[in-house]
């Protein structure tokens, strides 16, 4: 009797969907186990349990944070979440709008590119956190304008350059083709260039959500009366490591949800690109 040959997996071999799910769950389990091991080791070594809250303690901390504040009749945790998401949405929305317009225009028109590309590239090199002081003076220390400004400044130049690069990389043939079918220049941009690069634009937006969170949390640390960064700052003052960790886990969940949503947007807007394999 002959035995079926055992195939060796090589780099690039696809994985069955079921295996991917099982292995992904394994990864989560490993992270949980690693944390529990730390908690156990820390306590065995006589460490202060305040610095090593177990999962039970984290759950209780979540309960405390989501308790109703009798004085204000609100739940600070949800107030913080709503405040942070509102600023994030404003910053991302404004940043995406600014960089999509400038990126596409720079990518399409070589004269605009020649004028603005060097400046934008230089601006993108400024560490956005270096602008915190300036924005606080210009946009006011109170209020959210300086946080929105920081996010916009932080994500726009890089995003604009990225969009510019993909717009320039659109095959010239498809552009000439559109003209030869009777398209005007605005039609070439709206119907031949932009739709082709939408999946890549959404992909770059997904990548800039991370930096947007960085600038938001940084701004909230410095000056805020609400927001997730503010909540973390308060927990730090009260040395509530368990509260901080609840905020951190919550940030991870929010970030993943936004990423998922954007992936869904990409599939909805560009159904052609999800079925596409490399050519």
Q: Which residues sit at the interface with another protein, rule CB under 8 A?
A: 171, 173-174, 176-184, 187, 190-192, 194-196, 198, 269-270, 272-273, 275-277, 279
CB 227 within 8 A of CB 58: no
Least separation in angstroms between CB 115 and another protein: 22
Structure-token pair, residue 224: 């805020």
Least separation in angstroms between CB 272 and another protein: 5
Beta carbons within 10 angstroms of residue 269's beta carbon: 13
- Looking from the CA of 78 toward its CB, the CA atoms found within 13 Å total 9
Query: In DSSP terms, which residues pair with 74 in a beta bridge?
Result: 69
Query: In DSSP terms, which residues pair with 69 in a beta bridge?
Result: 74
Q: Given the complex with another protein, which of 194 and 212 has the nearer CB atom?
A: 194
Least separation in angstroms between CB 36 and another protein: 47
Spatial distance between the Cα atoms of 128 and 152, rounded to a whole number of angstroms: 9
Q: Given the complex with another protein, which of 2 and 173 has the nearer CB atom?
A: 173
Least separation in angstroms between CB 204 and another protein: 17
Least separation in angstroms between CB 104 and another protein: 14
Beta carbons within 10 angstroms of residue 51's beta carbon: 12
Q: Given the complex with another protein, which of 72 and 111 has the nearer CB atom?
A: 111
CB 114 within 8 A of CB 120: no
Q: Given the complex with another protein, which of 165 and 198 has the nearer CB atom?
A: 198
Q: Given the complex with another protein, which of 194 and 217 has the nearer CB atom?
A: 194
């Amino acid at each position: 009797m002959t035995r079926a040959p055992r195939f060796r997996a090589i780099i690039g071999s696809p994985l069955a969907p079921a295996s991917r799910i099982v292995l992904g769950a394994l990864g989560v389990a490993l992270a949980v186990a690693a944390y529990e091991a730390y908690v156990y080791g820390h306590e065995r070594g006589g460490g202060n349990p305040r610095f090593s809250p177990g999962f039970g303690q984290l759950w209780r901390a979540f309960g405390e944070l989501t308790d109703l504040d009798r004085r204000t009749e609100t739940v600070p945790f949800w107030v913080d979440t709503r405040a942070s998401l509102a600023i994030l949405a404003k910053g991302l929305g404004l940043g995406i709008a600014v960089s999509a317009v400038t990126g596409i225009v720079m990518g399409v028109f070589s004269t605009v590119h020649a004028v603005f590309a060097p400046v934008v590239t230089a601006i993108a090199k400024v560490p956005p956190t270096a602008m915190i002081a300036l924005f606080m003076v210009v946009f006011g220390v109170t209020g959210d304008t300086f946080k929105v400004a920081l996010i916009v400044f932080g994500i726009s130049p890089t995003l604009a350059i990225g969009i510019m690069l993909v717009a320039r990389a659109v095959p010239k043939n498809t552009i000439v083709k559109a003209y030869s079918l009777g398209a005007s220049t605005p039609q070439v941009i709206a119907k031949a260039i932009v739709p082709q690069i939408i999946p890549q634009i959404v992909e770059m937006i997904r990548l800039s959500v991370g930096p947007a969170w960085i600038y938001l949390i940084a701004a909230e640390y410095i000056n805020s009366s609400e927001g997730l960064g503010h909540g973390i700052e308060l927990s730090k003052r009260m040395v509530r490591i368990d509260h901080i960790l609840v905020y951190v886990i919550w940030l991870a969940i929010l970030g993943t949800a936004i990423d998922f949503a954007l992936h869904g947007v990409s599939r909805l807007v560009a159904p052609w690109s999800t079925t596409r394999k490399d050519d």
